[in-house]
Structure 1
């Protein structure tokens, strides 16, 4: 029997696409089990990277490396995650879901276990790359499990929930990762990752997905495209992740890497553009709808980087993660609420309004944060961060659904859509962090120069501030000159802190402006679509009216 021969399915069981599971009827308890396993798998795929991302300063100290070296960890994850999406869709289609599931979960667990015994920066980068590959697989696998939990009439809601589960990883990581570090430093994080991977592996072995259709998918030119595209994306990720750390104009290798990325990605796209059955459908990806979708996701991901700016702002005030626990609970509640409300309200007609509502909420949160001062504490940011977290998860489901409808109409574009969505998400996150970090540094330098040029000991207020800071050390420092030097240093530190606060306010303000500009762009496009759809309708109506008039005239003359 041909293993690639299509199976006979009942109408309600037919898989949506080759490589996806069939959808038989399940009992309520089995649907609940699929939902729970889907949550575990999706969180497992996203939580490992989130734990590393929120604890980079602590991992830097534990591994004894520089900031420019530790920045390779999130970069390696994104490099592998984006590239693997080129091959994963065809891997599922040709080799089936069972091998896909067990292989990548086993890879995840083995990579984590190996890092517990062979540690260092090189092994940490290798583990992050392995987790990027398996994380790309687990995100899709979690979505497939969640879809089994929803009947056909609510499957659109299942897509929103399945995509949204992975977005809960970041606030969850901020909540309890400090405790893991206290238990076993960086090993505490990896022990937890290993435990999650083994739990997820056990769950998928106990509750398997229904079978689907298999097709012979791979072609020889697919691997040529991958060999060109993967290193190109890796170089681009390295530039975006480390540009701010080593500074854009100071490290020559950034320019060489960017040039190499452009050449390799362009070569891969050239190969695909001239293929009869391309892995990446460049003509479809370059259509107006797909370009607008990619731009929307990219812009929204840049707006979402405000949350990272909030962390930097609070750390600039001297707060640590333990003092922000309630804030992370609020953001987690906002993220969950965004997923739930999006799932309850999702319809094809509401996709565009949903995106604009999400952006409006994020813009409001950013504008509220732009008025922060040195007296601002997490309690004053609860509402704004709730809005940002809500908008961040509320937009994702409608965005995914808006593009996936075109894939259902043309299944051969599944890989192209998957890659476009992944690149917009992951590279958008890297680009957002790079832009926010770079803009914050530039504005901090500007505000520092403005503040410092007014600080002179000839100013009585400045002199009094220096003396007061020095007098506070009178009990431990007897030398007046040393006390005066310490007073000057304290004043300089205060000026730097205020410059950072002003810089973060500028960042939040610009993010709010970007969000408003994106809303305006979407609104103009939405109104344009309404107008262009209205004109043919009016023309058709006038034509019908004219034909009716002609008919009446003819009947009258007869």
Structure 2
């Protein structure tokens, strides 16, 4: 029997896309089981990277490395995670979902086990890269399981929830990762992750996805493109991840990596542009609709990086993760609420408005944070962080649906969309963190220069502050000169702290401006489409594809 021969499906069973599972009727208990397994798999895929990112300072101490060196861990994950989407889509299409499911979950578990035997930075980087390859498969796998839980008429809601679950990983990691570190230091994180990986493997072996069609899709030129694109993305990821730490203009190797990334990625795209059956459809990706979609997602990702600024701000005030637990509960509640409201309200016609609404919500939250002082504590940031968590989870589902609908209308572009979505999400997060972090450093230097130029001993207030700072150590230091030096150091530390607070306020205000400018651009484009272009819609191609899905679903019903 030819395994690549198209199967005969009932109308309601037909797979939506090549490589996706079929959609047979399920009983209610079976639908619930699919939903729970989809949640477990999606959380497992996102939690591994989140546990590392939120605990980088502790991992740095455990591994005994410098702050610049520890940044290679998240960079290594992104390097492989983004480029693997080039091959994973075709792997599902040619070898089937079941092999895809079991193989990559086993690889994920093995990579987690390898973490337990890591004793140095080099081996940790290698294991994180392996984790990025296997973790790239889990988000898609979780989405497929969640979709099986929904009947055809509510499939869009399933897409929003399946994609949104991965957004819960970071606040979830901040909630309990400290307790895991107390068990066995950094190995406690990986024991938990190994347990999640084995739980996911057991679940998918117990309840398998329905089969789909299989096709011979791999071509030799696919691997040529991958051999150019993957190292190019890796070099770009290294630049974005470490640029702020080693500083952009002070490390020669950053420029060499950026030049190499441009050459390699350009060569890969040039090959794809001239192929008859391209792996990456450059002509489709450069259409107006897809370009605007990618740009809007990148801008929103920069806005979402405000969360990194919030963590840095609170750490500047001397707070640790234990003192921010309630804040992360609030962020988690906001993310869950945003995901549920997005799923409840989504329709093809509402997608532009949902994206604009998420920008409004995040702009309000970021502006509220821009008035922080050294007396600000997590309790004063509950409302703003709830809004930011809500807006971040609210936008991810409609964004994916808008592009996914265009893929349904042209299934050959599935790989292209997967690469574009992965780049805008994963590399977009790195880009957002790099921009926010760099802007904070620049503004801190600016505010420090303004504050310190007025700190002179000729000012009686400054002299009194130095004297009081040294007097607190009078019982320890008997030498007046040493006490005076300590007073100067104490005043300098206070000035640095205030400069950082002002810099973070500038970051929050910058994020607000970016959100409002993005909102104005999207609103202007939408109004232009209504007034000048007919039929009107920023996501016209997306809605055409979604409408096709809806028509197919109605026929099956």
With structure 2 as the length reference, what TM-score do the two structures score?
A: 0.95
Deviation string, structure 1 residues 456-510 (Cα, Å, up to 9, x no partner): 1110111111111111111121111111111110000000000000000000000
Give SS of 1:147's match: helix
For residues 507 and 231 of structure 1, the distance between their equivalents in structure 2, rounded to whole angstroms, comes to 32
> C-alpha displacement at 1:532, in angstroms?
2.1
> C-alpha displacement at 1:118, in angstroms?
3.6
In structure 1, the partner of 2:474 is 474
For residues 493 and 469 of structure 1, the distance between their equivalents in structure 2, rounded to whole angstroms, comes to 11
Deviation string, structure 1 residues 47-82 (Cα, Å, up to 9, x no partner): 000000000000000000011110000001111010
In structure 1, the partner of 2:452 is 452
Give SS of 2:185's match: helix
> Closer, same or farther in 2 for the Cα pair 1:275/1:496, shift >3 Å?
same
Structure 2 matches for 1:18-417, cutoff 5 A? 18-417=18-417
In structure 2, the partner of 1:539 is none
Q: Is 1:495 equivalent to 2:519 in the alignment?
A: no
For residues 475 and 439 of structure 2, the distance between their equivalents in structure 1, rounded to whole angstroms, comes to 42
For residues 494 and 68 of structure 1, the distance between their equivalents in structure 2, rounded to whole angstroms, comes to 25
> C-alpha displacement at 1:534, in angstroms?
5.8
Larger Rg: 1
With structure 1 as the length reference, what TM-score do the two structures score?
A: 0.95
- After TM superposition, the structure 1 stretch with the greater mean CA deviation from structure 2, 427-436 or 119-128, is 119-128
Structure 2's unaligned 5+ residue stretches are 537-557
> Closer, same or farther in 2 for the Cα pair 1:249/1:533, shift >3 Å?
closer
Give SS of 1:16's match: coil
For residues 242 and 26 of structure 2, the distance between their equivalents in structure 1, rounded to whole angstroms, comes to 48
> Closer, same or farther in 2 for the Cα pair 1:258/1:535, shift >3 Å?
closer
For residues 368 and 17 of structure 1, the distance between their equivalents in structure 2, rounded to whole angstroms, comes to 43
Deviation string, structure 1 residues 20-73 (Cα, Å, up to 9, x no partner): 000101111110000000000000001000000000000000000011110000
For residues 130 and 238 of structure 1, the distance between their equivalents in structure 2, rounded to whole angstroms, comes to 16
Deviation string, structure 1 residues 235-280 (Cα, Å, up to 9, x no partner): 0000000000110011000001000000000000000000000000
Deviation string, structure 1 residues 427-468 (Cα, Å, up to 9, x no partner): 110000001111100100010010000001110111111111
Give SS of 2:116's match: helix
For residues 522 and 329 of structure 1, the distance between their equivalents in structure 2, rounded to whole angstroms, comes to 32
Aligned-residue RMSD, C-alpha: 0.9
Structure 2 matches for 1:504-543, cutoff 5 A? 504-533=504-533
Give SS of 1:395's match: helix
For residues 245 and 271 of structure 2, the distance between their equivalents in structure 1, rounded to whole angstroms, comes to 34
For residues 158 and 533 of structure 1, the distance between their equivalents in structure 2, rounded to whole angstroms, comes to 32
For residues 243 and 109 of structure 2, the distance between their equivalents in structure 1, rounded to whole angstroms, comes to 31
- After TM superposition, the structure 1 stretch with the greater mean CA deviation from structure 2, 130-139 or 518-527, is 130-139
For residues 390 and 120 of structure 2, the distance between their equivalents in structure 1, rounded to whole angstroms, comes to 37
For residues 463 and 376 of structure 2, the distance between their equivalents in structure 1, rounded to whole angstroms, comes to 27
> C-alpha displacement at 1:535, in angstroms?
9.4
> C-alpha displacement at 1:115, in angstroms?
2.3
